[in-house]
Structure 1
Amino acid sequence: MKTLYETFREVYGEGGEIRSFFSPGRVNLIGEHTDYNGGHVFPCSLSIGTYAVARKRKDNLIRFYSLNFKTQGVMTVDSTSLAYDAEHDWANYPKGVVSIFKESGYDVSGFDVLYFGNIPNGAGLSSSASIELATAVLLNELNHLHLEMVEMVKISQRAENEFVGVNCGIMDQFAIGMGKEKAAVLLDCNTLAYSYSPVVLEKASLVIANTNKRRGLADSKYNERRSECERALAKLQEHVSIQSLGDLTIESFEAHKHHITNPIDQKRAKHAVHENVRTIEAAKRLKAGEIEAFGQLMNESHVSLRDDYEVTGLELDALVEAAWSEEGVIGSRMTGAGFGGCTISIVEDQFLTSFQTNVAKTYKEKTGLTPEFYVVEIGAGAREINQLSEAL
């Protein structure tokens, strides 16, 4: 924090009240490709994320600077005429949040802000939603708007959908805004009903492993999978009164799946239904402290994503299979959209070093790539932090 404050003054000059904010990254423990199918997800917020140091201005100018993209320098925009600009790159995410705040009728002034993120870029840990929520919280606090966090979550999702043009669901923003220390949140993506499950990993840790494979296929395949599930749902709706695949039990799906005549569409729907049921069960298991059972459900989730949804690919499968063969691994699966990105594993603490060494070796032999590992803690959601007095 001391470095961030010093850099802020170097970039923007002295004077005024400087305030600091933190917004975490997120990882989804289980419940993949269920959000747009009307199902449940089970993410948690992380101890890594995006720091924002900001100072309110008396005019309408906004100045953005990121320590992660120093070569782009300070970007200055007028908050009264915000528009997407490809040259502004990462800054379009916070610009979008400001734009939606203003569009929603909230009176926000200009500000100077410095960002620093320690989420690995492109790893699928939601750095974009993290910077969105950091911006939403700083706008809320600097302008004394007194908004509820759920409202800021919805604004941040709208910013990504409408301003940036990425058709994401609400899971990322919700997990980051509503995250709770040492707990995961079970979220019904249809109703936004949610509950928390304590994550008590006695003598074990969450380990995120980055495949370091560029996720070039993820966007096109994501749209393809959505279409396949929509076709499957339409076929089922001719015979069953449901709004989404998430409305089905496994038994009702098995009884009516023959109506989905396209075998590929049927496989996609099978994953959506089974994964939703798995996710609800996983939350119960975790709440009951049954970590081994939770780990088994993680493993089953990966198999379903590999065989029925077909979004894993060589690299994610290699990383997960290497994890499964290691002593002390309670569960491991891909997390995120797929075709690259990360895996999430629960590993007993005494095996953390051997896990990373052995998995890296096996993975490199199979793919030629070197993975990166992050032993992470579950942290609280987006918030203002008051660390200036401690830092200086």
Structure 2
Amino acid sequence: MPGLDTLRQTFAKVFGYGDSGEELRFFFAPGRVNLIGEHTDFTGGYVLPLALTYGTWAVVHPRRDRTFRLASTSFAGKVEIDADKVVYRQADGWANYPKGVFREFNRFKVRLSGYDILYDGNIPKAAGLSSSASIEMVTATALNQVESLDYSLIELTKLAQRAENQFVGVNCGIMDQFASGMGQAGNAVLLKCDTMEYRYVPLSLGDYQLIITNSNKQRSLTESNYNLRRRECEEGVNIVRNQLAGFVNLGNVSLAQWQVAKKYVTVPEVKKRLDHVIHENERTLASTLALEAGNIQDFGQYMIESHESLRDLFEVTGPELDALFEEARRVEGCLGTRMTGAGFGGCTVSLVHTEAVSDFKAQVTRGYKGKTGLNPTFYHCNSGDGARELKGR
């Protein structure tokens, strides 16, 4: 975590300020890792993410000319925007995420006064840990505070999701923004994505810990098959809706109901996508009960089953994530492992005994590099709090 004084000095250098005194304000929003419940959020199902201690910081200084100047410690140059003329530009890259948030506030008739904002983050880029949602949520939280608005955190998560859906063009569900906004240290959060009902789930893992492994296979959701998978699910929903009385969404379909309805889904790919989603919802609920009971052996098995379903039915893993999965399973002391995030590259999350962590890293690195030529990167997964303003110097 960068110190606030370091961020203050970097801000002054980037934007050419001297001592900006008390006008600077500091905000943070975390990334997230999803423990289980993958590709269920956009169909109204269950997810079980936690907020990370990795995330995005934003240093904010007010302007009076309704202009935004955006800079990042990770990218050269600045992006300048008129608050009344917020449009998507591919050349603006990462800055389109905060721009989408600006446009959402504009749509609610909030007259933004303009700001200089410096972003700094430590989430691996394109790793599936929701750096985009972190940027959106830190921006939304900052504007909500500095403009003295009264949007709740849940309202801000919905606003940030719309920014990604409608401005950036990724049809993500609510999970990423919700976890970034509503995370709580020491807990995962079970979320029903259609109703926004949620409860915190204590993470009492005993002698085990969660290890994130980055495949270092980069991917961009706007260039992947993510939107195709969503369309395939929507095609299946249109069929199932006509077969089940009182149908709401896939998140409300039981295994027994699916056995009745699945024979009407005749496109093999569509049937496989729905088969994954409905079973994944059941696994997520079972995983929650296992964690609450301290039964981490069962939780680890559900993680394995989840990856196998994402590989065989939803087909979003790919050779790199599958190689990490296979190598992790060979390590004594690893109870469970699975891909996390949208897939097509990114990360796995594994449940590893504390005394086996060093062996886990060494064995997975050796096997994975042998199969792919890539070196993985490992992160200890600690749960943190959600989006907030940071006080002090």
TM-score range, shorter chain: over 0.9
Q: How does 1:213-228 map to 2 (within 5 A)?
A: 213-215=217-219, 219-228=223-232
Match of 1:65 in 2: 71
Amino acid at match of 2:111: D
Q: 2:40 aligns with which of 22, 34, 37?
A: 34
- Aligned partner of 2:13 in structure 1 is 10
Structure 1 unaligned segments of length 5 or more: list them: none
Cα distance, 1:317–1:55 mapped onto 2, change above 3 Å: same
CA displacement at 1:217 relative to structure 2: 8.2
Work out whether 1:238 is the aligned partner of 2:242. Answer: yes
Tell me if structure 2 keeps the 8 A contact 1:329–1:347. yes
**Separation (CA, whole Å) in 1 of partners of 2:284 and 2:223:** 24
Q: Which amino acid aligns with 2:28?
A: F
Asked if residue 289 in structure 1 is aligned to residue 303 in structure 2, the reply is no
Aligned residue pairs: how many?
386
Q: What SS does the aligned partner of 2:35 have?
A: strand
Using the TM superposition, give the Cα deviation of residue 103 of structure 1 relative to its aligned residue in structure 2, in angstroms. Answer: 1.5
CA contact 2:126–2:220 (8 Å) conserved in 1: no
Secondary structure of residue in 1 paired with 2:87? coil
Q: Once the 2 structures are TM-superposed, how far is the Cα of residue 276 of structure 1 from its aligned partner?
A: 0.6
1:359 corresponds to? 364
Q: Distance in 1 between matches of 2:389 and 2:187?
A: 20
* Deviation, structure 1 residue 265: 2.3
- 1:114 matched to 2:118: yes
Deviation of the 1:216 alpha carbon: 6.3
The residue number in structure 1 matching 2:205 is 201
What is the CA–CA distance in structure 2 between the aligned matches of 1:223 and 1:53, rounded to whole Å? 33
Q: Does 1:135 align with 2:135?
A: no
Deviations along 1:97-136, whole A, 9 cap, x unmatched? 1121122122332111111010000101111110111111
Q: Secondary structure at the match of 1:125?
A: coil
Q: CA deviation at 1:157?
A: 1.1
Map 1:298-317; keep pairs closer than 5 Å.
298-317=303-322
Identity fraction in percent: 49
What displacement does 1:34 show? 0.9
Equivalent residue letter for 2:373? G
User: Corresponding residue for 2:177?
Assistant: 173
Match of 1:210 in 2: 214
- Letter in structure 1 aligned against 2:115: F
State how 1:156-171 maps to structure 2 within 5 Å.
Answer: 156-171=160-175
Per the alignment, do residues 38 and 18 of structure 1 end up closer, same or farther by CA in structure 2, a change over 3 Å counting? Answer: same
What's the counterpart of residue 380 of structure 2?
375
Secondary structure (helix, strand or coil) at the match of 1:53 reads strand
Q: Which of 279, 282, 287 does residue 277 from structure 1 map onto? A: 282
How far did 1:232 drift?
Answer: 2.7
Q: Distance in 2 between matches of 1:365 and 1:87?
A: 37
CA positional deviation for 1:220: 4.4
Q: 1:15 to 1:232 in 2, by over 3 A?
A: closer
1:76–1:279 Cα change, 3 Å: same
Match of 1:256 in 2: 261
Change beyond 3 A, Cα 1:217–1:10:
closer
206-215 vs 129-138, which deviates more?
Answer: 206-215
The equivalent of 1:24 in structure 2 is: 30
Query: In structure 2, the residue corresponding to 1:187 is in which secondary structure?
Result: strand
Deviations 1:75-99 (A, max 9, x none): 2222122222222211111122112
Gaps in structure 2 of 5+ consecutive residues: none
Give distance in 2, aligned partners of 1:77 and 1:224.
32
Question: Does the CA-based 8 Å contact 1:97-1:135 persist in structure 2?
Answer: yes
| CA displacement, residues 191-248 of structure 1 (integer Å, 9 cap, x when unaligned) | 1111110112223221111111133688542233223323333333332121222221
One-letter identity of the residue aligned with 1:79: A
SS of corresponding position for 1:64 = strand
- Distance between the aligned counterparts of 1:171 and 1:293, measured in 2? 24
| Cα distance, 1:180 vs structure 2 | 0.8
User: Root-mean-square deviation (CA), in Å?
Assistant: 1.6
The residue type paired with residue 4 of structure 1 is L
Aligned twin of 2:325:
320
Structure 1 residue 350 and structure 2 residue 355: aligned? yes
CA distance in 2: counterparts of 1:259 and 1:190, whole angstroms: 25
Question: Which amino acid in structure 2 is aligned with residue 296 of structure 1?
Answer: Q
For 2:270 and 2:169, how far apart are their aligned partners in 1?
A: 27
In structure 2, distance between residues paired with 1:302 and 1:164: 28
Query: Corresponding residue for 1:74?
Result: 78
Residue 211 to residue 223, structure 1, CA distance change in 2 (3 Å): same
SS at 2:225 equivalent: helix
Q: Structure 1, residues 254-304: CA drift from partner, whole Å, max 9, x if none?
A: 233222223332222111110011111111211222211111111111111
* In 1, Cα distance between equivalents of 2:341 and 2:70: 28
Aligned partner of residue 74 in structure 1, secondary structure: strand
The code of the aligned residue for 2:66 comes to: N
Contact kept? 1:218, 1:338, Cα under 8 Å = no
Q: Deviations over 1:292-331 (max 9, x none)?
A: 1111111111111112222212111110111111011121
Aligned-partner Cα distance in 2 for 1:84–1:264: 33
Q: 1:3 to 1:220 in 2, by over 3 A?
A: closer
Q: Identify which of 145, 154, 157 aligns with 1:153.
A: 157
**2:286 match: secondary structure:** helix
For 2:269 and 2:140, how far apart are their aligned partners in 1?
Answer: 41
Query: In structure 2, how many angstroms separate the alpha carbons of the residues matched to 1:87 and 1:262?
Result: 39
Farther-moved stretch of structure 1 (309-318 vs 173-182):
309-318
TM-score for both structures, normalised by structure 2: 0.94
Give the aligned residue type for 2:250. Answer: L
